[in-house]
Amino acid sequence: MRGRTWAMLALTLVGTALAAGAAELRLGSAPALPVPNLLVNPGVEEGTDGRPQSWAFGTATPAIFESDWREGGRSGRCLWLKARTGEMSGYWAQSVAVVPGTPYLAKGHLRILSGKILCYVHGTADVGDGRKVSVDARHYRGTMRGHWLTPVFVPLDALSGPDAERWHPFRIPFTPTAPVDRVAFSLGLYFAAGEAMFDDLEVCLAEVALLVRVEPAAGEVLRRVVVRADGTAKPIYDSGALPEGTGVFTHEIPGQPSDGQWTLTVTLADGRTLSQRYPKHEGEAPR
């Protein structure tokens, strides 16, 4: 604990020195992070008359489902549903406009109390001749806890499944095929009796281009620029030894995940290293 405190203090001092007149490091992205969430009411907190704004529940067999906008979410309210039988699937859903051919990411958090959930992104468009193209990207997750075969036919202790008391993140990458320009993000129970909850949902661009800009201060010489994604040892970019006289250094790294975090590290000729993280999440409340 004591060593960590000293290290944090040192970092603070370095950062202060940089701000006082050293090289200017800028790690950013296009578009900027966080990318816009395409969903309306993604936290499921807004609504009237007992219904969440912009979210709708649908199934071909309403008689077997209960659905509700209720307290008990990660914060505030969440989407809840329960199926008495597995005769039919049922989903909370919201649709969003998308640009064909562009990679996207749908994500959120779920609690699965019993049954099998399906979160999926889907859309269809006609291309003529009776043919259709579609996007259909899925995330299944199931638990047998609470299955109606327990305990008489299946022993409870043997069953697998995610902890029903915790929220679990999920993510679904997808790229709509042209001409699909609108997709639905559906969250529900997939032909299984069960109960599930969904909260803090997002549909956003999956990729950004990282923009690197390093401007040395007067008298400073850039030797090397490295960008690493958090949790990976291998750099996603390494300039190698920079030629003498490199002035303002800029570089673009396309195709980076929009939910990533990176560190830009610059080595100067005098051996000093400067770094910057992107994006910064200091102010984000813990979840």
Q: Is 158 in the site for other proteins (CB under 8 A)?
A: yes
Cα first-last separation, the chain: 24
3-state secondary structure of 23: coil
Q: Is 157 in the site for other proteins (CB under 8 A)?
A: yes
H helices within the chain, ranges in order? 2-21
What is the gyration radius of the CA atoms in the chain, in angstroms? 24
Site for other proteins in 218-247 (CB under 8 A): none
Site for other proteins in 4-33 (CB under 8 A): none
**Cβ 150 to other proteins, closest distance in Å?**
9
Q: Is 149 in the site for other proteins (CB under 8 A)?
A: yes
The stretch among 123-131, 197-205, 224-232, 237-245 that binds other proteins (CB under 8 A) is: 123-131
Chain centroid to Cα 5, Å, comes to: 31
The stretch among 26-34, 79-87, 95-103, 259-267 that binds other proteins (CB under 8 A) is: 79-87
Contact present, 253 and 227 (Cβ < 8 Å) = yes
Q: Report the residue from 153, 230, 231, 247 that binds other proteins according to the rule CB under 8 A.
A: 153
Q: Report the residue from 15, 28, 34, 86 that binds other proteins according to the rule CB under 8 A.
A: 86
d(CA 237, CA 151): 55
Q: Is 41 in the site for other proteins (CB under 8 A)?
A: no
Nearest 5 degrees, angle CA 196-CA 119-CA 194? Answer: 25
3-state secondary structure of 5: helix
Residue 157 vs 282, nearer CB to other proteins: 157
Nearest 5 degrees, angle CA 103-CA 90-CA 201? Answer: 40
Site for other proteins, rule CB under 8 A:
63, 85-87, 129-133, 142, 144, 147-149, 151-155, 157-160, 191-193
